């Protein structure tokens, strides 16, 4: 049986590794994104061949930073990647004040944009329609990367998920046979990290087809695995 650690224990491991010079935060984020891409292809080997499609949901913290890394790495493989961000409007619209962001997440958001990637707002009025259009734009499988909220989530997040739920409702109305695969980065948005019974912090969490976590399982992963949801553990060198 694999080790299970809490969010605080994971944070402590990361802080210790960065404090003693073992690894930089940007390196950890790059390893996380690279490991997620490898896990995607290992779990869904049919996606390895050809240019696929991904829609990345990037939240305002380090989980979102992982999402930007994943977006960049998939785009480098020739994938068509669309990124929708929550909390990143200052990078989209001039004049919007930038709230304080984790430095590594901000660096990767800027790297995505500087590399020619586009960033759409999940907070825009037309976000549900725009997100639904991105998911259904072309035939074939599409991977929805949930990098909204990751490690440590416990507060209610219904507002953040509302445009995503609205988009998925539209998608189901348009195409019931769409090959949509949802991969959660670390913790599926809407689940409490440290609750092994599956406590929720949203009325309707974003239910994944695959969860990719780092270093070790967290308590909620046991609940998800008991429901048949695959949980992959990525080694990021801690």
- Check: pTM over 0.85? Answer yes or no: yes
pLDDT tens per residue across all 238 residues of the chain: 578 999 999 999 999 999 998 899 999 999 999 999 999 999 999 999 878 999 999 999 999 999 999 999 999 999 999 999 999 999 988 777 777 889 999 999 999 999 999 999 999 999 999 999 999 988 889 999 999 999 999 999 999 999 999 999 999 877 778 899 999 999 999 999 999 999 999 999 999 999 999 999 999 999 999 999 999 999 999 9
For 224, list phi and psi in degrees, rounded to 5.
-65, -45
What secondary structure letter does DSSP report for 191?
B
pLDDT of residue 206: 97
Residue whose pair of structure tokens reads 């599409």 in the numeric block: 142
Q: Sketch out the chain's domains with CATH numbers.
A: 7-43+54-88+101-234 (3.40.50.10260)
CA dihedral sign of residues 48, 179, 70, 10: negative
Quick one: DSSP state of residue 4? B
From 9, 25, 2, select the one nearest 151 (Cα to Cα).
9
Question: H helices of 45-91, where?
Answer: 62-76
Find out whether 171 and 180 touch, Cβ atoms under 8 Å. yes
């Amino acid at each position: 049986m694999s080790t299970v650690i809490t969010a605080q224990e994971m944070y402590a491991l990361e802080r210790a590794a960065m404090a003693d010079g073992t690894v930089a935060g940007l390196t950890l984020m790059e390893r996380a994104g690279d490991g997620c891409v490898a896990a995607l292809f290992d779990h869904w080997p049919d996606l390895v061949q050809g240019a696929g499609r991904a829609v990345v949901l990037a939240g305002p913290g380090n989980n979102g930073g992982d999402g930007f890394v994943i977006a960049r790495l998939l785009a480098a493989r020739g994938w068509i990647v669309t990124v929708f961000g929550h909390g990143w409007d200052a990078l989209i619209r001039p004049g919007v004040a930038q709230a304080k962001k984790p430095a590594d997440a901000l660096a990767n958001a800027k790297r995505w944009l500087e590399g020619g990637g586009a960033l759409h707002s999940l907070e825009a009025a037309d976000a549900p329609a725009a997100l639904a259009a991105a998911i259904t734009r072309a035939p074939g499988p599409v991977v929805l990367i949930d990098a909204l909220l990751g490690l440590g989530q416990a507060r209610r997040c219904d507002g953040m998920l509302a445009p995503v739920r609205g988009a998925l409702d539209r998608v189901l109305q348009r195409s019931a046979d769409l090959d949509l695969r949802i991969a959660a980065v670390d913790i599926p948005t809407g689940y409490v990290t440290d609750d092994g019974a599956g406590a929720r912090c949203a009325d309707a969490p974003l239910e994944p087809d695959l969860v990719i976590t780092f270093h070790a399982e967290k308590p909620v992963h046991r609940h998800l695995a008991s429901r048949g949801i695959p949980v992959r553990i990525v080694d990021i060198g801690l």
